[in-house]
Structure 1
């Protein structure tokens, strides 16, 4: 019976985190962010993103509340900061030249860490869900859930190059510009959510 409960808790934790991370929904955004990068470097971007994502989620799971208390922060401040960061990214995509080459793009390590790992994969929602999983289901379930979800995400990203082959250079460029608008909208929503939640909890 204990094993059944463990499996049930693990399934709930994985599903909740996977829905929040939403790798399938973020595919067009990942395509837009990496359309100027060579395939080999693109793989490095995604490898770095997954590694950073796992480390960050585990750190926030175990130390998130303590970190927030030490610096006097709330999860809402992460929403606002993440929104501002994504807004900057969207402006950079929209203002970049079509002739920009791979060497002009941020390094794979930099792009993989920010903004792909954080705040796209590991945003306020993922951090909150991971902390909730730890409190509800325990350490083992939380660790396995994080590893499983980001392993699935890594597999999805590994096969994303097929999308580029279908789209071609022009298609990827069009997707990049279109997704920049979506990123901007997500950024504004992050900021509005953070402000709304802060006002609600402070009143």
Structure 2
């Protein structure tokens, strides 16, 4: 059943995890190295990964003998690391400096920047509390935002400035740390996800 509250919650959670605004400096740096990033290709590739994982994620995990709780804990650790990276201003996940224009649109932009382990884990854990339809709508909304941001990174950099980007990055970092702790606690102590 469609629920605006669920769609809003899912959209906000995924927006925090994807952190496309916090990734603007990485995208700008990559664009300077490779010249052009294909925003459409990156968005479609990330969207396909996210939708595939929404519907087949549990089956994929079963194939490898991994439980949802195990994957959630691993994902919570990654989300925690991403949040710590954003708050502390350190770089744990480094993009490949050898990337070409086409490959840079897919790796590292589509995966792991947009649809990374943290995003995929979050999608999987959201399934325990929200309906698939609401999660799918939340994914599509986020993909629209991702596409718009990828298309306008230079303009956003000028408007927000370094200070604005730093503030946004830290705010979403705190949100990510909170999400990671919630996922970890739920998986470890109650067997329930978000």
What TM-score do you get using the length of structure 1 for normalisation? 0.58
Question: How many pairs are equivalent?
Answer: 180
**Long gaps (5+) in structure 1:** 1-7, 97-101
1:23–1:153 Cα contact (<8 Å) kept: no
C-alpha RMSD of matched pairs (Å): 4.6
Deviation at 1:199, TM superposition (A): 2.2
Per-residue Cα deviation, 1:51-97 (whole angstroms, up to 9, x for no partner) = 23311222123222323333333444334433544637939x7369x
Compute the displacement of 1:162 (Å). 1.0
- How far did 1:11 drift? 4.8
User: Is 1:111 matched with 2:104?
Assistant: no
Q: Quick one: distance in 2 between partners of 1:24 and 1:79?
A: 14
CA contact (8 A) 2:50 2:115 kept: no
Aligned residue number for residue 198 of structure 1? 187
Q: Secondary structure at the match of 1:73?
A: coil
Name the structure 1 match of 2:26.
33
2:122 corresponds to: 125
Shift of 1:114: 0.9
Higher alpha-carbon Rg:
1
Richer in helix (by share): 1
Aligned to 1:29, what secondary structure does the other structure show?
coil
C-alpha separation in 2, matches of 1:163 and 1:143: 27
Residue in 1 that maps onto 2:37 = 44
**Residue in 2 that maps onto 1:162:** 155
Give, in whole Å, the separation in 1 of the partners of 2:14 and 2:145: 11
- Partners of 1:149 and 1:178 lie apart in 2 by 17
| TM-score under structure 2 length normalisation | 0.60
State yes or no: 1:94 paired with 2:90.
Answer: yes
Gaps of 5+ in 2: none
